[in-house]
Amino acid sequence: MNRMTLDAITRQADAMAVDVFEIGLYKPAVDGRANEPEMLPRTWDKATLLKSVGWLKYQNSQGRNIYIRPKGEHALSLVDDLNAAALDRMKSEGFQPAIVVETSPGNFQAWLNHGRVLPKTESTAAARALAERFGGDRGAADWRHFGRLSGLTNRKPKYNTNGLYPFVRLVEAKGQPYAQRQSFLEGISVQVEPSGKGHAPSTHRGGPTETRSLRPIDYFRGNPIYGGDNTRVDLAYAVYALAHGASEDEVRIALRSRNLQHKGPEKRQAEYVDRTVKKAYNALNSHSR
Helices 230-243 and 248-255: crossing angle in degrees, nearest 10, is: 160
Q: What pLDDT digit, counting tens, does each position of 58-99 carry? A: 999 999 999 999 999 999 999 999 999 999 999 999 999 999
Neighbours of 117 (CB within 10 A): 14
Distance of alpha carbon 50 from alpha carbon 289, whole angstroms: 44
- pLDDT band, residue 36 (cuts 50/70/90): low
Please state the rounded mean pLDDT for residues 148-162: 93
The predicted pLDDT at position 169 comes to: 98
Question: Taking residues 252-279, what's their average pLDDT?
Answer: 91
The pLDDT value given to residue 7: 97
Please classify residue 283 by burial: count the beta carbons closer than 10 Å to its beta carbon, then call 0-12 exposed, 13-18 middle and 19+ buried: buried
pLDDT the model gives residue 240: 85
Task: Please say whether the dihedral angle defined by the alpha carbons of residues 10, 69, 76 and 134, taken in this order, is positive or negative.
Answer: positive
C-alpha span between 196 and 189 (Å, rounded): 9
Q: How many CB atoms within 10 Å of residue 63?
A: 17
Q: What is the pLDDT of residues 100-115, one digit of tens each?
A: 999 999 999 999 999 9
Q: Is the dihedral of CA 42, 44, 49, 51 positive or negative?
A: negative
Q: Average pLDDT, whole number, for the chain? A: 87
pLDDT for 247 equals 84
Q: What is the pLDDT of residue 287?
A: 46
User: Which domains, and CATH codes, for the chain?
Assistant: 3-178 (3.30.70.1790), 182-287 (no CATH)
pTM score, whole prediction: 0.70
CA dist 26 and 149 (Å) reads 12
The pLDDT value recorded for residue 191 is 67
What percent of the chain clears pLDDT 90, i.e. is strictly above it?
59
Choose from 29-43, 45-59, 215-229 the range with maximum mean pLDDT.
45-59
Contacts for 51 with CB less than 8 Å, ≥ 6 apart: none
pLDDT for position 32: 53
Q: What percent of the chain has a predicted confidence (pLDDT) above 70?
A: 87
